[in-house]
Each structure stands twice: as structure tokens, then as C-alpha cells.
Structure 1
């Protein structure tokens, strides 16, 4: 599913939607961790979830500085991000779950790529966005490399 996060016209909306994105991502990671069989995979995915918590903390600080009331949970997209993982679990194995999660990572990579190029991006948010984009690319690459076999 394509995302429009990162294309907002105001810094405030960009920050708010990135927070929603992170809540959705964390929920999806929680779902993946619950469903994986491999302890090694669970540990790595938990570390990736920690990256998302760090992104969320940074975004909350930015929200405060910009007078944005940060959302406290995800939006309707959360049902899609977690639903793909649940469906993959019903139909397959750890590799299937990671493939489903990799498609979620495509959206987060795209969102942070758009944000990095957005004219509304506040200067004090640029470093956080660069870090998040690098993290998301790393997460996606790992999931792709580990989703070919269990």
C-alpha cells in the first residue's frame, strides 16, 4: 500500500503523521514478535522495534517544540499493517511473516524518503529523518534477506 506520509504541506502535519506512522510500525512489530518462532529473529525484530521507539521519542520532542499534540496511538492503517502479518502467519512460516513485514517497511522507507525531500521539513527534524530513513532501509534489507527461507 502506498503512503502519503512525508508529503504534508506543513511541519505540524508532517510531525503528526510521522508519529502516527511510528505507532503503526510499533504495533506491526509487536504482532511480528508474537508470531515468529525463531528466537534469533524475535531478538532482531525487537531491536528494530526499539529503533521505532527512538524515532517516536524524537518525534514527540519535535511535536512539543512545534505545539503539536502528539497522537497516542496509530490510525486505521494499523489494522492493515498488523493484518498482513497475521494473515501471513496463518498461511506460512517465519519467512512469510518477514515478507509481509517487509511490505510494511516499504511504506516507512517511502515515508521517510518523502519527508527528507519535503520543503515543510523543519531544519531541526532533518537529522532525525535521515536516521529514521537509514534505519528503515536497514530493517527492510534484513527482512528481505531473511524471508527467503526459514
Structure 2
């Protein structure tokens, strides 16, 4: 799925969309943790979920600075992100679940890349999006590698 999150010239709207994205990501991580068999995989995915919780807190603070709305939950995309995980679990165990999660990370990486490159993001706020991008790349790399050996 191609995302336009991070491309808006309206900083408040962009932050609101990132908050929705993070809520959706957290829901997908929770679904993944519930369905993984390996305790080691569950622990690593929980570590990544904590990164997303931190992203959410950082984005909420940014929302206050830019006057953005702060949604309390995800949007319809959550059905897609969690649905992929549930379908993967039905057909292939940990490997399939981690592959499905890696596909979710593609959109999240793209959103953070857009924000890092977006001229509407003040220089003082770029670091937040750079940290998020680094985390998302780390998550996807681990998921790709873990899926191959699961």
C-alpha cells in the first residue's frame, strides 16, 4: 500500500495522520505478539511496540506545539494492518506473521521518509522523524531476517 502520510504541507494535519499511523502500528504489534509462538520473537516484537509507544508520545507532544488534533485510536487502516497478521497466522505461523508485519513496516518507513524530506517540517522537529525512521528501518530489517529463520 502506498502512503501519503508525511507529505502534507499542513504540519498539524500531518502530525494528526502520524498519530493515527502509530495507533494502527501499535494495534498490529499487539495482534502479532498474541499470535507468535516463539517467546524470543514475542520479546523482540514487544521491544518494537515500545518504540511505537514512544513515537506516539513524541507525536502527541509535537501535536501540542503545532495545534494538531490528537486522535485517541487508529482509523480504518487498523483493520488492514491487523487483518494481514491474522491471515498470516492462519497459513504459516511465525514466519508468515513476521513477513506480514514487515509489509506493514514498508508504509511506516515511507511515511517517516516523507516527513524527513518534507520542507513543511521545521528543522527543530526533524530529529523526531529521523529517530522514527531509524526505528522503523531497524524493525523491518529484524522482521525480514527473523522471518527467514522462523
The TM-score, its normalising length taken from structure 2, stands at 0.97
- Kindly provide the CA deviation profile for residues 10-43 of structure 1, in whole angstroms up to 9, marking residues without a partner as x: 1101111111110000000000000000000000
Pairwise CA distance, 1:101: 0.3
| Other-structure match for 1:16 | 16
Show structure 1 runs of 5+ residues with no match.
none
| Other-structure match for 1:43 | 43
Q: Distance in 2 between matches of 1:115 and 1:108?
A: 11
**1:1-150 alignment, distance < 5 Å:** 1-150=1-150
Moved more, 27-36 or 119-128: 119-128
- TM superposition outliers: structure 1 runs of 4+ over 6 Å: none
Show structure 2 runs of 5+ residues with no match.
none
Conserved 8 A contact 2:115-2:129: yes
Moved more, 119-128 or 101-110: 119-128
Q: How many residues align?
A: 150
Q: Distance in 2 between matches of 1:72 and 1:98?
A: 27
Q: Distance in 2 between matches of 1:114 and 1:86?
A: 29
Q: Distance in 1 between matches of 2:113 and 2:104?
A: 14
- Kindly provide the CA deviation profile for residues 36-74 of structure 1, in whole angstroms up to 9, marking residues without a partner as x: 000000000000000000000000001011121201111
Conserved 8 A contact 1:14-1:121: no
